[in-house]
Structure 1
Amino acid sequence: MDFAGAYSWPNLSFILQGFGVTLIVAGLSIVFSFILGTILGILRFTRFPLLTQVLAVIIDLIRGLPLLLIIFSIYIVLPQIGIKLSPFWSTIAGLTLFEGAMISEIVRGGLASVDRGQIEAARSSGLGYIQTMRHIILPQALRRMVPPLVSQFISLLKDTSLAIVISLPEIMHNVQILQGHSPNYVIPALLLAALLFFAVNYTLSIIARKLEARRI
């Protein structure tokens, strides 16, 4: 093991640059998947049997596929029909699709946990469905969804490493490149990568616990 060589400024900068890509991909995927998951979750919560059943089949199908397969398929298959995405956007598209399906179930469960009596009371007071959802149901549901959402976001951050299969220059890809330069760099580089992932994920878990304690 060569810690001095692995942590020399050029190598250290290379690893941190990869982690920067990881954070950007994770951040954009979190935003997009949350938007997609919220929309799908609300649609599944509505009382339209045909719509909810169709969405349930699609969401279950996506959730049942390996994320690695989804990312690889987007990168390889879409160009066959004229849609070519870079490794960066292929990863974001795959994570958004997969995590959006996961988040939709969290959103649907959060909405379902709110007492139906509140919906009926809001509607009887003259509020429309959208107003009821926006002002009465969603604020309560979102507070209950915080812990599982943060857990899902932590999983998303870790799942960015799967993009190594399409050569996205994220942290694990850069660690692999360092291995090619010297096998003695592998363990130090992996230890640093693990520390960086742990620091971000542990911070997110602390935030989730504090938000949950405040809600209680």
Structure 2
Amino acid sequence: MDFRAALTPEHILFMLDGFRVTLLVAASAIVLSFLFGTVIAVLRYARVPILAPVLGAVVEALRNLPLLLIIIFTRFALPDIGIRLDVIASAIVALTVFEMAMISEIIRGGLLSVDKGQIEAARSTGLTAFQTLRYIVLPQALVRMIPPTVSQFISLLKDTSLAVAIALPELLHNSKIIYNANPSRYVVPVLLFAGFLYFITNFSLSQLALTLERRLRIEH
């Protein structure tokens, strides 16, 4: 091991550039998967005819596929049907498609966890289905959804490393380039630094989630 030679300013900047790509891909996929996942969850929760069972089948199919398969398919198979994406867009699309299925189940579970008696009481007072969802169901479900949702987002951030299979220039990809120059001396320092970056980011997310959950519990 040689920490000084492995973690030179140039190497650190190269790894941080890869981490920037990691954060870009993860943040994009988080926003998109949450939006699409919410729509899917609400449509299934509302039992919209035709759409609900179709979306349910799609969600189950995606949840039972390896993420790596989806990443490789998006990058190398989609061009065969005329859809060409660069490596970053491919990673974002693949992660979004996979994670929206996971997030939709978390959100739907949160919605279903609200006591039906409260829903019936709200409807009996004259609230519409949409008003009941907005004012009664969602505020309670949101508090219950925070821990599993954040856990899924943390998993998503770590799963960006799978995109090394399509040469996405993310943190692990750039780390590998550095330690391959001298595996016997560089691999441990470089991987420890990469692990430190992942840990700091994911730990901060988990602490933010705990703070938000406590605040919402107090408000509701």
TM-score range, shorter chain: over 0.9
In the alignment, what sits opposite 1:185? Answer: 186
Instruction: Please report how far the alpha carbon of residue 213 of structure 1 lies from its aligned counterpart in structure 2 after TM superposition.
Output: 4.0
Deviation of 1:49 after TM superposition, in Å, equals: 5.7
Displacement, 1:189? 0.8
Which position in structure 1 is the counterpart of 2:211? 210
Where does 1:79-158 land on structure 2 (aligned, <5 Å)? 79-158=79-158
Identity %: 56
1:165 aligns with 2:176: no
After superposition, the CA RMSD in angstroms is 1.5
Q: Which residue of 1 aligns with 2:8?
A: 8
| Matched positions, count | 216
Q: Calculate the TM-score normalised by the size of structure 2.
A: 0.92
Provide the C-alpha distance between the structure 2 equivalents of 1:53 and 1:199, rounded to a whole number of angstroms: 40
CA distance in 1 between partners of 2:98 and 2:121 (Å) = 36
Structure 1 residue matching 2:161: 3-state secondary structure: helix
Structure 1 unaligned runs (5+)? none
**8 Å contact from structure 2 (residues 106, 149) kept in 1:** yes
Q: What letter corresponds to residue 33 of structure 1 in structure 2?
A: S
Equivalent AA in structure 2 for residue 122 of structure 1: A
Separation (CA, whole Å) in 2 of partners of 1:180 and 1:198: 23
Give the superposition deviation at 1:54: 2.0
**Aligned equivalent of 1:197:** 198
Give 1:36's aligned residue: 36
Which residue in 2 is equivalent to 1:66?
66
Q: Is the 8 A contact 2:6 2:179 kept in 1?
A: no
Query: How far apart are 1:179 and its partner, in Å?
Result: 2.3
CA offset at residue 2 of structure 1?
A: 2.0
| Letter matched to residue 158 of structure 1 | K
**Residue 180 of structure 2: SS of its match in structure 1?**
helix
Q: Tell me which amino acid in the other structure corresponds to 2:131.
A: Q
- Structure 2 residue aligned with 1:174: 174
